[in-house]
Chain A
Amino acid sequence: MQELIQQLVNGLSLGAIYALIALGYTMVYGIIKLINFAHGDVMMVGGFVGFFSVTLLGTNIAVAMLLAMAICALLGIIIEKVAYRPLRNSSRIASLITAIGVSLLLEYLTIFLIGPNQKVFPETAFTVKAYNIGGLSILNKDVFVFVSAVILMLVLQYIIKYTKTGKAMRAVSLDNEAAILMGISVDKTISMTFAIGSALAAAAGVMVGVYYSTINPLMGIVPGLKAFVAAVLGGIGIIPGAMVGGFVMGLLETMVSGYGNSLYRDAVSFGVLILILLVKPTGLFGKDTGEKV
């Protein structure tokens, strides 16, 4: 029982990271029906910005995270403007292939500029301590990841529910053309969605740096795919779904590593995806809308 709770605690922080990445996937999909393959790589860029902010500028981890979020928000807007906007009216396969292209470009441009080796997140940026609470060992990095992720999610909920931008985002994802008629600038709203999604991914990137204490240019691929699974699991396009999906994936993964064979960890995540796509493609929270001819 104790061990189970311990595994749950470990899973929560990993789940929070997946949830943050999944939010970006789901927001972008909700608004332009595009699986933004490059999202995981935006996370990676965020991790590197955080790393350089800590090592070169000597900032603390909170400032590093904010800086990463700002730069990646800008990156997200640029990616959308340059690569996705010209394709908004072409086939979805074309945009998907472009997204794969953007993903490869971010990965190998980073390798080209920084080198393929992994970088160790400096110990000084975040000193890991373990607390012992009722027989459970809780690391302060887990607490940090979990708490900051929850704060970001609350901020996101506030933006989406109570601000004008959030209202516009919901309107565009509900009905693009009606939103235009209501005087909402769709282009601006989509840019804003990419900015927010990418900022969340960047925060996740810095968290990955703290959590695994190393970062490398290809680190975005696997968490990106898993976060995508999380988004699909919760129902793609649905924001609370992505959060729940992220936590479920994180817990599942720690359970598989803890009790089963950690080599099968990735296979299990992808198995979940296949199962969801076959049984209920709209996800846990999705409504079946039927097919329009």
Chain B
Amino acid sequence: MQTKKIKWTRFLLETALLVVLFSLVQYGISTRMLSQYYQINLTSMCINIILAVSLNLINGFTGQLSLGHAGFMAVGAYTAVIMTTKMDYPLLAGLVGAFLAASAAGFVIGVPTLRLKGDYLAIATLALGEIIRVTLQNIDYVNGPAGISGIPKLTTWAWLYGAVVLTILVVVNLINSSYGRAIISVREDEIAAELMGINTTKYKVMAFVIGAGFAGLAGALYGHYFYIIKPETFNFMKSFDILVMVVLGGLGSTTGAVIAAIFITVLTAALQPFPEIRMILYALILIIVMIYRPQGLMGNKELSRQTLGRIWGARR
């Protein structure tokens, strides 16, 4: 009884916090307190959070290094944009379609490639991501390299916020379930996991498909905010961008991924006039984090009220 009660208060508290955060920003947007500049960065931030959290599910929790995340983002973006602009579906249908299409792409790519290990898998996913991009460049229906422009701006703060919350909710609950424990066991020791009767391929593919789906969702939101999508946006440099966030935050830490996504977005915004310096910093982050703290800043720890409580306790 006691635990149930605590869980209820926690649930209510967390929901209330989420609602307050949402309303504050919504208030800021509707009263034009947040300028266009801040809104654009806020949008990038939300999209980056979705991308980082979903890639972290594949790279961090499952331990399968994928470098093709931008490819799934492209699949989602194109699916959603085609659905809303050429077929007149509402945005919700476009988002669902993007999720499903990217998941399907993840399944088709994941089943054969996830047999590969480590660096081979990384290269294969990178190559497949590039194949998706090159293919899009050659399809006239989507205007080839020029891409689709004049997309209506349907992505609002509510959609973004909802998508971020949904992504985090799904990933966190998945990891805390029995599926999640199986997924983590694959990362820790694939052979041992197999001996324990875990169908490692199934869990790898599952994580890959879910991660790909959310990348598609992020792509759809991106397309409906920035007016234009073209294949070049989703090249493997984009995948590296997401990788930097995951590595910085910690391979296997959802809160780490969120914090890193926020940090990288702010950094990107601050260094907008100097794109080279931004990339040099990215590179240095990758190298230095890997040499001195290969598990990422947060490792596989989560930032929660318990950890904060512990830090608070230690301070006193």
Question: What is the CA–CA distance of A266 and B231 in the complex, to the nearest angstrom?
Answer: 14
Among A75-108, those with CB < 8 Å from B are 83, 86-87, 90-98, 100-105, 107-108
Closest-by-CB residue of B relative to A267 is: B134
The distance in angstroms between the C-alpha atoms of A284 and B257, with both chains bound, is 40
Q: Does B112 contact A (CB under 8 A)?
A: yes
Cβ-defined partner of B294 (8 Å) among A94, A232, A264: A94
Q: Which residue of A lies closest to B129 (CB)?
A: A270
> In the assembly, what is the distance between CA of A91 and CA of B123, in Å?
16
Cα of A120 to Cα of B63 in the assembled complex, Å: 44
Tell me which residues across on chain B come within 8 A of A289, comparing CB atoms: none
CB distance from B287 to the nearest CB of A (A): 4
| Contact in complex: B124, A277 (CB < 8 Å) | yes
Secondary structure class of chain A's binding surface, majority of residues = helix
Contact indicator B120/A281 (Cβ below 8 Å): yes
B276–A92 CB distance below 8 A: no
Residues of B within 8 A of A229 (CB): 127
Shortest CB distance A279–B (Å)? 10
Q: Are B279 and A108 in contact (CB under 8 A)?
A: yes
Interface contact A96-B65, CB-CB below 8 Å: yes
Point out the residue from B63, B130, B286 that lies within 8 Å of A266, measured CB to CB.
B130
Residues of A within 8 A of B65 (CB): 93, 96-97
Set A92, A108, A273, A274: member contacting B119, Cβ < 8 A: A92
Q: Decide yes or no whether A259 CB sits under 8 A from chain B.
A: no
Determine the distance from Cα of A57 to Cα of B228 in the docked complex, in whole angstroms: 46
Q: Which of B190-242 contact A (CB under 8 A)?
A: 191, 240
Q: Which residue of B lies closest to A29 (CB)?
A: B119
A35 in the interface (beta carbon within 8 A)? yes
- How many Å lie between the Cα of A190 and that of B276 in the bound state? 31
Q: Is A270's CB under 8 angstroms from B283's CB? A: no
Q: A104-B286, A105-B280 are in contact. Are A263 and B138 (CB under 8 A)?
A: yes
Of B112, B115, B240, B287, the contact of A102 (CB 8 Å cutoff): B287
Contact residues of B between 141 and 167, Cβ < 8 Å to A: none
When distances are taken between beta carbons in the complex, the residues of chain A under 8 Å from B123 are 35, 228, 232, 273, 277
Residues of B within 8 A of A102 (CB): 283, 287
Give per-residue flags for B285-316: 1 if the beta carbon is below 8 A from chain A beta carbons, else 0.
Answer: 11100110010000000000000000000000
Determine whether the beta carbon of A97 is less than 8 Å from that of B283: no
The reply to whether the CB of B131 lies closer than 8 angstroms to some CB of chain A is yes
Residues of chain A with a CB closer than 8 A to B128's CB: 270, 274
Which A residues lie within 8 Å of B113 (CB)?
Answer: 274, 277-278
CB of A174 within 8 Å of the partner chain: no
Q: Is the interface of B mostly helix, strand, loop or mixed?
A: helix
Asked if B23 is at the interface of the complex by the 8 Å CB criterion, the answer is no
Query: Contacts of A131 on B, CB cut-off 8 Å?
Result: none
Give Cα distance in the complex from A111 to B278, angstroms.
12
Complex formed: what's the CA distance from A241 to B192 in Å? Answer: 34
In the bound assembly, the distance between CA atoms of A111 and B283 in angstroms comes to 13
Q: Which residue of A lies closest to B295 (CB)?
A: A94
Closest residue of chain A to B64, judged by CB? Answer: A93
Give Cα A277–Cα B117 distance, bound, in whole angstroms.
10
Q: Is there an interface contact between B137 and A263, defined as CB atoms closer than 8 Å?
A: yes
Contact of B135 among A105, A267, A274, A278 (CB under 8 A): A267
Tell me the bound Cα distance from A196 to B286 in angstroms: 26
Q: Provided the pairs A98-B287, A101-B286 are in contact, do residues A111 and B127 lie with their beta carbons within 8 angstroms?
A: no
Q: How far is the CA of A267 from the CA of B243 in the complex (A)?
A: 23
Which residues of chain A from 259 to 293 have a CB within 8 Å of any chain B CB?
A: 261, 263-264, 266-267, 270-271, 273-274, 277-278, 281, 293
Which residues of A lie under 8 Å from residue B124 when comparing CB positions?
Answer: 273-274, 277
Nearest B residue (CB) for A263: B138
A-B contact pairs, 28 of them (CB 8 A): A35-B119, A35-B122, A35-B123, A90-B290, A92-B118, A94-B294, A96-B119, A97-B290, A98-B286, A98-B287, A100-B243, A100-B286, A103-B283, A104-B286, A105-B280, A108-B280, A112-B280, A225-B130, A228-B123, A232-B123, A263-B137, A267-B130, A267-B131, A270-B127, A273-B127, A274-B112, A278-B112, A278-B115
B residues with a Cβ closer than 8 A to A are 63, 65, 112-113, 115-116, 118-120, 122-124, 126-128, 130-131, 134-135, 137-138, 191, 240, 243, 247, 276-277, 279-280, 282-287, 290-291, 294
A: residues with CB less than 8 A from B are: 34-35, 83, 86-87, 90-98, 100-105, 107-109, 111-112, 116, 225, 228-229, 232, 261, 263-264, 266-267, 270-271, 273-274, 277-278, 281, 293
Q: List 7 other contacts, CB 8 Å, given A101-B282, A270-B131.
A: A35-B122, A97-B65, A103-B283, A107-B279, A108-B276, A111-B276, A273-B123
